Each structure stands twice: as C-alpha cells, then as structure tokens.
C-alpha cells in the first residue's frame, strides 16, 4: 500500500483547537480471509465550536459512515481523508464501517503465516500515521482518548491489547472467539495496539499486575529457555523505575509480544510492547546481544512514562520520547540488571551511529525547529542516530552537569504537570529548570537546537620544569568532561596505568600542569560523559596504536577505538594502520562489546568501502587472521561470546571456501561451537558468494530449516549466487513483483550486492536509482526505506555511482524517507571515495 496524504502541523493544530476526542470503540473481525479484515469504529467526541474537519481512514472499501445517526456519503472519502463538514458545537458520535487490507510490510495490521507450522499471526504497528490502515481515527498525538477493542478471531487464537483482554464468548455460526479489552486511560492514537494469533504465552504477576511474554508457537522452546531472564529483567527494571519516578506505572498490565517481521526494534504501546522476534534467540548469541535485549526492554518501559503518560504535542519533539528512553534504557539496565557495563556498548556502537548521522548533510538538531517538521512525512525522517544516540548523549551530559538528583526532580515535576496529556520541549525545559539554579534554558538552546559534533583536542607543552595541557574546542557547546592521564607500566610490554583523572569544564582558561615527563597517554572525555569527537596528540596517538589493549578500563578503550574510527572516516588515519591495530590488539581484548563493535566496523565499512578494491583481499585476510587468533585464544571455553563473535566475522570474511565447507560438513566449528541455524545460514551465505554452493544446497538447507529465518536465509543465498540468472531473478523479486514481505525484501537485498561480484552486477548500479524511486512510490515508506538502506550499491565507491545518485536526487517524485536514505548513502559513499583517494 503506497503513501498517504501527510497530516501537516498546521492542520493538526487547527483540528486540536476544534475537537476534544473522548472514546474509541474499535471492532475488528479477523475471520474474513487472508487479504482483508472488517473494521468498525465508533468515535465519541465533542466539537468546541462550529466548523469543518476530517477523520483519517485508508480502507480497501468503505462500507458506511454515519454522524449522530445520519448517514454520510462514503464516496466523499478523498485518498485517506473523510470530510466532516459543518460540525455543530457539542457532543457527536461517528460510526465508520470498512473493509481494510492486511499489511505485508509491517505497517498497520501486519499478517504473517509461519512457514514452520502454517499458523497465522497479526499485530498492529500504528506508529506515526498508520492507525488509519486499521480503523478510522483523528490521527494526531495531541488528540488523546480512551480505547477499547472488540476482536473476533479464529477459535484457537488469543487476542492481546493495551488493556487486559477477556474472551467473552463465541460467534455462534463458526465458533470464532470474541475478545474484549479493558478500556485504556487516555492515550494517543499511534499507541493503540492489538496482537492476535495462537500465541505461546508465559505469564506471571508482579507488584499486583499481570505480566506476560508472548511469541509464535514455533519459537516456544526458545522463549521458554529465556523466559526467566526476560521476566527478571522486566520486573527488575519496573522496580527500579518506581524508585526513580514518583508517578506509578499508569496502565493495567504489562505484556511483551515478540512479533514476526517487525520493522523497528520494538514499539512502546502502553501495556502491550511489541518487539521484533529475533529477540527470541533460536541460535547462540553473545552476552552483548543479551545485554542489548535487556536495554531494549528497559528502553520501552521508560516510554510508559515518557511518551505514553506524557506525550509529545507534535512530531518535532520526537527526541523527547526517544532520547529519554535511550538514556534511561542504558542507565536503568546498568543499575537494575546483571548487565552493569551498558555504557561501553553504547559508546562503541550506538554513539558511533550518532556521530555518523551528525556529520551528514541530512543532520538536524536533536530538537528541530517546529517549522522543520511541517508534516508527518518529514517527521519520519528524524528516527535516526541523532534522535536516539546523540540525544541520549546530550541527556547524559546534562545529568553530569546538573547532577542526577536535580535531573530526576525535574523529570518527576514534568510527569506531575503533564500526566495523561501532551508537552513540548519548552515544557520539559521548564520542568528541569524548576529544580535547579542552573540555566537549563541556555543549555538546551546550545545543545538541542544546534547541529554537528564538537571536536576536543589536547594541546600539550613540555618544558624543563614539566608539562602542561590545554584543551582546544572546535565547536560551540559547553562540556563537562574528565581528563585521564596514563603512564607505561614498568616492565610490561603494552600495559598502561592510570596516573590521574580530573574533572574539567570546556571551554576553560584552566591549564592542567604537572612536574616531570608528560604522560604517555592523555585522554579527553574519559568516562564518555559528553558528546564530542576526541582527538589525540601525536604521542598519545602513538601510545594508543601500540598499547590500546593495555588500557585498564573497557570504557576508556572504547573511547580510544572510537577516536581511531573517527580518524579513519575523516581521512586522518590510514585504513591499513587501523587494521594493523585491530590485528595487533583485538585478540587481547576481553570486552565483548568492543570486539563486536571493532570487528563490525573493520568488516563492514572499512573492508567494503574504505579500502581500495585492489587491497580488499588483503584486508579480509588480516580480519580473518585476527578472528583466528581470538578463536585460538578461546579454545578452552572461557569466553564463548568472544569465540562466537570471531567465528561469525571469520565466516563473513573468508576468501576461500575450504574451512567453511569443512565446518559445514562436520556440523561444527573445530573445537566448537556446533552449527546452529544462524551459523549454518551464515556459512551458506558466504559459500554462495564464493560460488561454492548452488541451488541444490540452498533448497536442501531450506528443507532442513523450513522456518521464517530459513526462508530469509535461502532468499539471501539465492540473491548472492555469482550467476547472471540468479541476479536477474533477485532483481525482479526486489523491484518488479511487489509481493515480498519487508523481511524477505531485506534478505534478498542483503544477498544481492557483493564486492566480490562487482563486474557481474555493474549494470544494476545505475538501474538501481530509477527502480528504487518507483518502488518507494508504489509500496510506501517501509519498503522505500528498506530499498535505500539494504538495496543500495554501497560497494560501488566510484564517480559513476556518485554521479548517478546525485542525478537521482534531482527527481522531485522520491518519497521523503527514501530521499533521506539516498542522501545519507551518497554522503557516506563520497566520504569513502575521499578516503580511498586522498
């Protein structure tokens, strides 16, 4: 289903001034077939004056509409807007009956049939403006209302919703179950939620409320294996939030549904959080991945207060939801769960996402000007590393500056002032300012209303009496940082030991000084409490390249690796020097998040983009050699996560099929781990790229694993085969037949482009742009974004690709989400081109 008319901020303000919406009764009948469902909506609302307005709906067929019992003409529906002209002041009741179309792209009411057992599941993703794909609504965040659902579903299904659901009886004719949900408190339209199917559920009670976790039946054993950990993380975070927040959890239950083919990581629907069901691990994972799941659980729970209880008024303030939940997710997971070192993972992966986004032409302030978000289509562009990672980093810096006590006091004031209502950035800053004598308004202007990254550089002077340090700031923001100095450990080849750590406000006239020889390493922003690129002086850089594995604290090492990463991306450190540092030091690294983050950058951006084509094979050999060293070091089983991380990247980087084919034949990596489905498909994917398997092996593997992830693995492998017919068939599936679900589209796109096959796919590079633009126009934002993210020819780092891409951006018909993605991809491509051609 293609794009809809976007709601503008001005239209939303006009409608909010006219209407007070009270109650939605939504009845969905899910028994009508594979393609459509019936939707009946009764909306009770008041008009505060006489006027014209409209309600949103995107039906397959609109059957009937009545206002206060008087029929309206269904033919008046214009695209997704049904006019309601001549409203009189006072109370009204709108009734809308329609047939709606199921989604296959994760937007609206998504329908999925599990290839493992034939069972079907549906769930809503109503975010931003997709409510209207499910039922009629005044679809904007500041028209909150009570929601109650009645759902008719196949007899063996369970129905979940925002409120507690009960099966109230059967439909007489066929035994279909009728379920009703308890009415919600007032919430925004985008937060209403339903999930229905033959769920496997694990339920418990905590703090007097029902808690549940749910997944499809074929994942039941995997959910059961992790249920204790998931529920423990959930209840521990729940308890911790009640220590932080004076406002109690505002809903009647807490369900977490792990749903198939979900576009985001998770969605904070009140009382019914939905997660992508890759978080139900069917194969071995590292502890860092378990930590990430715990953080997402904590993130979504933070939204129950920040987003659900207090909601943004318009989408320019989306950062208020996401930055706050991102900060709270990492901080609360560290405080309340066994994953105490979350900020290292944040520093090495999430923060890099923010820095990258902030250096592209599409960057925007953490809190954009309202005029910069004129409609819902432009608002979708801001779900990026700035709204999440940079905003969370800004809040972390705010806490360092204000102190956590004053920060939480301001947060609790905000909840008390705006509970079950809407608030803006100005409201938030006013709440923070109420608990401190610091000038929070000035801080917010300089931190939240500006773009780009500051750079902090140490300037060190040595003289006969000692040494001194000044900090140069390229940028405009104030920073509260820690400065750490390190010396060589006597008698140790690589080890460093902390000499001193002190707090510093930047900018400052203060000069740090000391007697004797200068430290071997001077690091700004130790502890990673601010958001800024950090540079090293010449001697500190030399120390880092030689001794990074000898730095005692993992978070400090993460900051150093990030600095080296930034230098590569900025053309200040040769990719070969970075890779040599990886090869020398990563096999000694004990922190899993660092190993995964550094290997991910080396294998992804560096080997596939920054290294010149003729040097790529050597880069991959260096990466596989590093992975072999880690695999060798973990043979005794002491660090299974490190070993698994190294095995994965070894597979992805192999330039010869022999070792992988042997592992596949043996069903195990030599010395472990045994091949689970994830590793088996990963090996098959690489062997397909190398031309070492064909359709027969892929078909057999799918027969052995006839699951959803098996289907994705097979799609990825088929698209990766180094064969002209396979490439033509994959391209047709991506850009011509329009039947692939969002996940099968992504898997096919991931397989298609391979740097090893550049000559084979050369003709598709220029074809990509016109085909992607047409696809986005036909299939809408979710597939358009996937086409920009996964189907873009990132390997083609050359002038021809840049020229074709820039010409494409002149096309006025590109949907906004795809335009943003292409802009970012082309900027990254130009950066890689500069690194390759200094």
Instruction: Give me the active site residues, please.
Output: 300
Question: Taking a C-beta distance cutoff of 8 angstroms, is the pair 632, 664 a contact?
Answer: no
Q: 818 in helix, strand or coil?
A: helix
Q: Cα torsion at 195, 201, 202, 207 (round to 10°)?
A: 30
The beta strands (E) that lie in 330-443 are given as: 421-423
| Site of tokens 């001194």 | 468
Which positions ≥6 away from 388 have C-beta within 8 Å? Answer: 322, 323, 326, 350, 353, 354
Per residue, the 3-state secondary structure of 636-657, as one string, reads CCCCHHHHHHHHHHHHHHCCCC
Round to whole Å and give the CA distance between 677 and 711. Answer: 12
Which positions ≥6 away from 538 have C-beta within 8 Å? Answer: none
Question: Taking a C-beta distance cutoff of 8 angstroms, is the pair 60, 101 a contact?
Answer: yes
The DSSP H or E segment spanning 695 is: helix 695-704
Q: Are strands 146-153 and 177-181 parallel, antiparallel or unpaired?
A: antiparallel
Tokens describing residue 51: 């006027």
Nearest one of 184, 164, 168 to 176, comparing CA atoms: 168
Question: Taking a C-beta distance cutoff of 8 angstroms, is the pair 168, 179 a contact?
Answer: yes
Which positions ≥6 away from 590 have C-beta within 8 Å? Answer: 554, 639, 642
Question: Taking a C-beta distance cutoff of 8 angstroms, is the pair 215, 236 a contact?
Answer: no
**C-alpha 2 chain-centroid distance:** 23
DSSP states of 648-688 as a string?
A: HHHHHH-SSSHHHHHHHHHTB-TTS-B--HHHHHHHHHHHH
Print burial letters for 518-541: b (CB count within 10 Å at least 16), e (below 16).
bbbbbbbbbbbbbbbbbbbbebbb
Nearest one of 323, 309, 188 to 249, comparing CA atoms: 309
List the Cα angle 313/129/88 in 5-degree steps. Answer: 70
Per-residue DSSP letter, 88: P
Print burial letters for 659-689: b (CB count within 10 Å at least 16), e (below 16).
bbbebbeeeebeeeeebebbbbbbbbbbbbb
**For residue 697, with 0-12 CB atoms within 10 Å meaning exposed, 13-18 middle and 19 or more buried, which class applies?**
middle
**C-alpha 531 chain-centroid distance:** 19
């Amino acid at each position: 289903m293609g794009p809809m008319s976007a709601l503008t901020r001005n239209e939303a303000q006009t409608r909010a001034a006219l209407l007070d919406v009270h109650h939605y009764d939504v009845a969905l009948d899910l028994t009508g077939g594979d393609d459509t469902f019936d939707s009946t909506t009764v909306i009770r609302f008041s008009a505060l004056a006489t006027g014209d307005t409209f309600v949103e709906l995107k039906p397959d067929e609109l059957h009937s509409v009545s206002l206060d019992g008087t029929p309206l003409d269904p033919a008046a529906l214009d695209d997704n807007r049904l006019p309601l002209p001549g409203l009189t002041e006072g109370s009204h009741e709108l009734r809308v009956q329609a047939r709606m179309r199921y989604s296959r792209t994760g937007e609206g009411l998504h329908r999925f049939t599990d290839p493992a057992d034939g069972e079907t599941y549906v769930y809503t993703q109503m975010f931003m403006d997709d409510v209207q794909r499910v039922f009629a609504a005044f679809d904007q965040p500041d028209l909150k209302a009570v929601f109650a659902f009645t759902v008719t579903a196949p007899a063996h299904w369970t129905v979940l919703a925002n409120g507690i659901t009960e099966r109230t009886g059967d439909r007489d004719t066929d035994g279909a179950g009728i379920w009703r949900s308890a009415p919600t408190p007032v919430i925004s339209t985008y937060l209403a939620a339903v999930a229905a199917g033959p769920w496997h559920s694990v339920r418990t009670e905590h703090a007097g409320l029902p808690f549940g976790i749910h997944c499809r039946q074929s994942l039941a054993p995997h959910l059961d294996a992790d249920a204790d950990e998931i529920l423990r993380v959930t209840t521990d975070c729940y308890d911790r939030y009640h220590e932080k927040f004076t406002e109690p959890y505002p809903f009647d239950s807490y369900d977490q549904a792990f749903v198939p083919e979900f576009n985001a990581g998770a969605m904070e629907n009140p009382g019914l959080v939905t997660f992508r069901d890759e978080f139900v691990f069917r194969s071995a994972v590292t502890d860092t991945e378990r930590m990430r799941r715990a953080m997402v659980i904590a993130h979504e729970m933070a939204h129950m207060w920040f987003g659900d209880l207090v909601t943004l008024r318009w989408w320019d303030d989306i950062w208020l939801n996401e930055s706050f939940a991102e900060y709270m997710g990492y901080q609360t997971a560290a405080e309340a769960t066994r994953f105490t070192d979350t900020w290292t993972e944040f520093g090495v992966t999430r923060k890099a996402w923010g820095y990258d986004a902030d250096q592209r032409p599409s960057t925007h302030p953490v809190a954009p000007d309202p005029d910069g978000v004129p409609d819902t289509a432009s608002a979708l562009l801001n779900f990026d590393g700035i709204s999440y990672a940079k905003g969370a980093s800004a809040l972390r810096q705010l806490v360092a500056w204000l102190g956590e006590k004053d920060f939480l006091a301001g947060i609790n004031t905000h909840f008390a002032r705006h509970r079950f209502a809407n608030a803006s950035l100005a409201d938030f800053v006013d709440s923070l300012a109420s608990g401190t004598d610091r000038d929070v308004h000035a801080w917010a202007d300089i931190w939240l209303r500006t773009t780009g990254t500051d750079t902090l550089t140490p300037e060190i002077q040595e003289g006969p009496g000692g040494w001194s340090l000044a900090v140069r700031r390229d940028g405009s923001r104030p920073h509260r940082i820690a400065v750490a100095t390190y010396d060589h450990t006597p008698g140790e080849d690589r080890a460093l030991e902390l000499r001193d750590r002190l707090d510093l406000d930047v900018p400052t006239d203060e000069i740090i000084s000391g007697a004797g020889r200068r430290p071997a390493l001077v690091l700004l922003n130790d502890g990673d409490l601010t958001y800024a690129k950090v540079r090293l002086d010449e001697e500190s850089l030399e120390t880092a390249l030689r001794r990074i594995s000898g730095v005692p604290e993992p978070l400090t090492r993460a900051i150093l690796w990030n600095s080296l990463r930034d230098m590569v991306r900025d053309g200040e450190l040769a990719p070969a020097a970075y890779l040599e540092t990886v090869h020398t030091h990563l096999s000694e690294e004990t922190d899993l998040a660092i190993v995964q983050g550094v290997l991910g950058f080396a294998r992804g951006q560096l080997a596939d983009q920054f290294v010149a084509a003729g040097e790529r094979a050597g880069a991959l050999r260096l990466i596989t050699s590093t992975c072999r060293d880690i695999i060798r070091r973990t043979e005794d089983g002491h660090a299974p996560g490190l070993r698994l991380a190294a095995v994965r990247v070894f597979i992805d980087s192999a330039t010869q099929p022999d070792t992988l084919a042997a592992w596949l034949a043996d069903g195990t990596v030599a010395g472990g781990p045994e091949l689970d489905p994830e590793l088996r498909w990963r090996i098959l994917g690489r062997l397909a790229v190398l031309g070492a398997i064909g359709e027969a092996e892929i078909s057999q593997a799918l027969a052995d694993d006839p699951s959803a992830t098996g289907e994705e693995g097979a799609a990825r492998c088929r698209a990766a085969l180094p064969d002209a017919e396979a490439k033509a068939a994959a391209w047709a599936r991506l850009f011509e037949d329009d039947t692939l679900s969002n996940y099968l589209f992504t898997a096919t796109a991931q397989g298609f482009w391979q740097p090893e096959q550049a000559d084979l796919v050369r003709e598709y590079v220029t074809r990509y742009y016109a085909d992607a633009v047409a696809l986005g126009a036909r299939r809408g934002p979710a597939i358009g974004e996937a086409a920009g993210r996964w189907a873009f020819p990132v390997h083609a780092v050359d002038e021809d690709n840049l020229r074709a891409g820039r010409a494409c951006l002149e096309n006025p018909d590109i949907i906004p989400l795809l335009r943003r993605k292409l802009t970012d991809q082309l900027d990254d491509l130009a950066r890689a081109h500069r690194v390759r051609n200094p």
